[in-house]
Every structure is written in structure tokens, then in C-alpha cells.
Structure 1
Amino acid sequence: MTTSPGDTAPDQVARLLALVPYLLARGEVRLDDAAAHFGTDADQIERDLRLLFMTGISPGLPGDLIEVDLEALEGDRVIRVDNADYLARPVRFSPAEATALVVALRTMVEAAPHEARDVIARTLTKLEQAAGAEDEGLLRLHVTPTPLETSAVLPVLEAAIAHGTQAEITYHVPSRDEASRRVVDPRGLARVEEVLYLDAWCHTAEGDRAFRVDRILSAHELDTPVADPGARARDLTGGWFTDAETTTVTLRLAPPARWVVEYYPVTGQRPGPDDTVDVELEVASEQWVQSLLLRLAPHATLLAPAAYATAFTEAARATLRLYQVDGVDS
């Protein structure tokens, strides 16, 4: 992590956590104004922003990452960020996180330097007061219960698995900020680190899917049996899977658009004709691809899939028609 002289990594992390809500609340901020607000220089803020667009929510697909308008930053020295609304909300500890933090602070308070003890003690007091002051209340420290604590989804899924029947679920896909209803053949539940997943065959997507249980908004067990009663649950512990429905997109990039390779994780690239490069990305939203292509035009061509290319051409023509009056460009 690159920081300016006298600016430590913890300083930068603290600034990044404050920077995004600051920008989201204002919509657009001049680079120099942001630097003045945070008591640093413009170069440091620019380095912060270039670090930001490599972060986002799991599973880290292009549509999951924070968007920073690099053209506005480099040209007009104006900051615009998008796709980071989840950072505008206050951060909340889970019960396990709060308990671990309290235990760690109690361990540190006696061994910490004298000048740090007061800060640790005040922080510990606030946490314990929020938890109800009693040790047994620490595990209940969470202003909003987690979805698994309040949802009836889990027993419905367990019953469908046990009975060998299909389930209808409503699933939230954060990369598209959409809720979709689908019929699935549940195979099993698996915990990967701290996240519980449903392994299933999705009839809507016509493929294997691993759904995060905390993103299943509702579930209903159906009377219909699963299509393949003998299918076994997959081993999800290897970390190879994603709960997002992804499509491989191939783009041909001219030199002015090659920043895509540095900005987004590409799964493959190869030289193209006339100093272009062909890259492949895994995306979870066709709408996100269209938005990217409009930003890259005329320096990018969508090679595959063909259906995406056709849809983008139609969308581009529809956009152009908005700027025409009676067939005459306005």
C-alpha cells in the first residue's frame, strides 16, 4: 500500500473508510477540495482512489467493484464514485466479531503502553455498555440481527433437501441489486468460512449454482420432486465457485481502452488485429456490460456472446435516437 511520507497504512485505511461516504453524500467533489477536507495532498487522494477501485463486495466480479470515474479524475480533477452504496451505511459488528473485539481489548489493556490504556479502556467501556454491560450479553451485540437469525428460510431448505423436493426461492443478487424468483433442486447446505451456502441445480439458469443463504429473501417448499434424486451435493470448500450467475464476455480493446485490463480482473487476454487486445471477463450483469461499452466507445467492440452484442447495438441506436428530432441531429 503506497502512502505519502508520514502517512501510515492505518491512516490510509481510516481515510478510505471516511472518503467513500463523504463522496457519496456529495455526488461530485473536486480533487483539491477532498484533499483539503482530509488534510492531505491531491496526489495522496488520487492514490487512495486508485486503491478503491480494486475493492468491492464478494465475489469480486467487475460489477461488484467500486467504480471511480478515471476520465473525470485525470481530466477535470473531479471525483465521482459509484457502486459503493453499501459503504454509506454504518458498519455493524456481528455478535462473534464484537465478542472477539472485547476479549482482545481486555487482553491488551494491561499490556498496552500507558498512553494507550485510556483509549482502550474507553473503547472497551462503550462496547460493553452497548452489549448490556454483562458478559453474557456480548454475544447478543448486534443492533440488527443477521438474516439467518430472523429468517425462516433455513428450515424450509433443510426440509426440501430431506424430502427430495424442489423449492422456490427469491434471491438477491447484489452485483445487479435485483431480486429474482427461481425454482431450484436443493442438494445440500455447506458452510465456507463464515458463510452458509445452498448447493442446488437452478432451473431458471439451467445450471449448478451455490446460493448464499443470507441472500435468500424467501423460500417455499414445492410438492414436485427434484429432477435427479440421486444427485449429490458438491464440495464447495475449495473456493472455486461463485454464487453469482456469470457470463464470459469477450471484448476487443483499442489502445485508449486498454485500461480495462488494469481496472478489472480479466480471465484471459490475447493480441488482436491492428494493435488491439482481446480480453475475457466474467460478468454477472448484461446491463453492466452495456454501461461499460458506452464508456469505452468507440474504442471497444463486443465480440461475444452474440446475444449481448445484438442487445448492445439496439440499446446504442435507441440512445442515439434520443438526440434526434424529426430525423435531424440536435
Structure 2
Amino acid sequence: MTRPATRPAARPTGPRAGGNRASADRLARLLNLVPYLLARPGIEIAEAAGDLGVTERQLREDLELLWVCGLPGYGPGDLIDMAFDGDRVTITYDAGIDRPLRLTPDEALALVVALRMLAETPGVANREAVERALAKIENAAGDLVGTPVEVRLQADGRRVEQLRAAVGRGRALRITYYTPARDETTERVIDPLRMLMVGGRAYVEAWCRRAEEVRLFRADRIDAVVELDEPAVVPPQARPHDLTEGVFRPSPDLPLITLRIGRGERWITEYYPCERVERGDGDQWLVSLRVTDLGWARRFVLGLGPGVAVVAPAELADQVRAQAVAALEAYASPDGAPSGDPAGSASPR
């Protein structure tokens, strides 16, 4: 007997369902569960629960969660599928998770280096989780972790180290900061709370005396930093940001844009918080998301290429069209200037 066509809603996970450690343990269990069941079609749930060291109830909850996991698209042919015959279960579609995760030596070493750097970063939350993960990988990697490794930091590496040291000493900082959305550079005094790594980028979270609120400052956009001879004084009302869903937090007061995307651009829905995703004609989708401003949206759309079209707002479509035309004219002109521009400027008109 196969399961009902209607997929059950996944139960919430996270801090309210047992904390970060419980979530991490469950993720590891789920990644191993599919290969385990593939190797034992028709196994009884009670036997599987005993092998996996969980209760039957927990295993059934894990199976319910697997029903809503799968590949981008998340349609009937994209999600992990299974069939039940009484108290027996069989995986009928594995969505590519057909074997336990195995790291190559290079992958294991890269994780060890990254986790060691993260563990040494001041202000990192859940340091115990980082150290537990590091210990497990080092134990599995064996002698590999003793291999000499040369770590080359990005161009802003010295700036990150300078910021880390200042945060560790509890000093106030005067920074020169570039904001690309407004194309402006400002000078401000900040009282650091902590250093963060989010999405592979380093941030300083601090009380900004200029804005009089807690702000996040990307390290690679800090053009200059001076450590002041005064301690950082963070007001009692200052609260760290909740970054569990990333740095950007969409809100109704931000501009809403709608894009028509093809199959090759569906990754957008995985990396950006979308308010609405609808199937269009053929392989096309209509995607609506909030953006900080239309200037950022224009650069974003132009970087995506011809597989994306702006549906709304009309102002954004006009901006994208104008800059694309100006770029094409610049390529067509021998001297690199748009045709009809006697000043030789390649800026959009």
C-alpha cells in the first residue's frame, strides 16, 4: 500500500524543537536514513528504528519530513518518495541521496581549516557546536589534519584581523564605510558587539553612534579603521540581530520586484527570500521578492543574463533596458563610447 497522495506538513525544527544540537543531529540522521532504507527495501519500521537508535515515533516523524525534501522545483517528480505496506517502508525515489556522505581528503581538510578559523573568531555564537563538529571531522580525518596547509586570506584579510583584535580588546572604532546602495562613503564611530561570518563574509555588528542603533558593517566595505583610546560602550537597549535566516530581512516597506525566470535561474528561489513563486508558461516561473532598492535590483538583474525578464515594476524594467542598451552601444562604438555621445562617456543616458 502506498502512502496517500497528500504530503503531510513537516513539523517545525530549530530552537523550539530541541535546539541547534538537536537540529544538527536530526540532519545527520536524515542524510543517512535514505541510503539505509534503499539498502533494505520493505524493512519494518520497528527494526529500522532499533538499528538507527531512535524511537518508532521519531522515525515516523523523520519519514514525514523526508516527504517534503528533494530537489529544486519541489514538484511530484522532485521530492523524495516512498511506499508503505503496513508497518514496512520502501524508498521509491531517493532524489540523489543514494549513499552516505563521504568527504574527500581535500574536502575534509578544507572543513578543518574553516572550522578552526571560525572557532577562533571572537563573538561567534554556538562555539560549542563548532568545536564538536571540528572534533568529529578531525577524528575521522586521522593523520590528515596534521598536513601542513597554507591559508591565503582574501584581500580584506588584514582588515578582518584588525577588526577581530579591536573587538577582542573591547575598543570603540572610527570607521570609513562605503554603502554601495547609495554610492556614498561615510565616517562614523561604532561600539562593536561581535564579529560574524555570514555567507562566507565577515561582518562587524556594532552600535552605530551616528544612526543610534545596531548595524552590521561588512568588513570588505570598511575603507579605513582607527581604534580609539576609549572602551566600546554599548547602550542597554542594543540587541544583536537574529541572523538565522541571513543578513537581509525583507519587510513590506521595501520595493517588491517580479521576475520571469527560466529553469537555469531557479536557484534564485534557493538563495533569496521570495514572497511568491508561481509556475508560468513552459519552464518559466514568476518570482516576486523584496529588495533594498531598485539600484541593487538593476545590477542583480543585469548580472543574471538573458534568461531573466523584469515583469514589475515598470521603472526597474526601464532602468535595466537603458543600461543594457548603453552597454551594447559602448561595445559597438570603436572608441568605447555610446554612439551619438560626443563627450565619449559610456554612462547610461
Shorter-chain TM-score: what band?
A: 0.3 to 0.5
> Which has more radius of gyration?
2
Quick one: higher RCO (CA 8 Å, sep 6+), 1 or 2?
1
Name the structure with the higher helix share. 1
TM, length-normalised to structure 1:
0.39
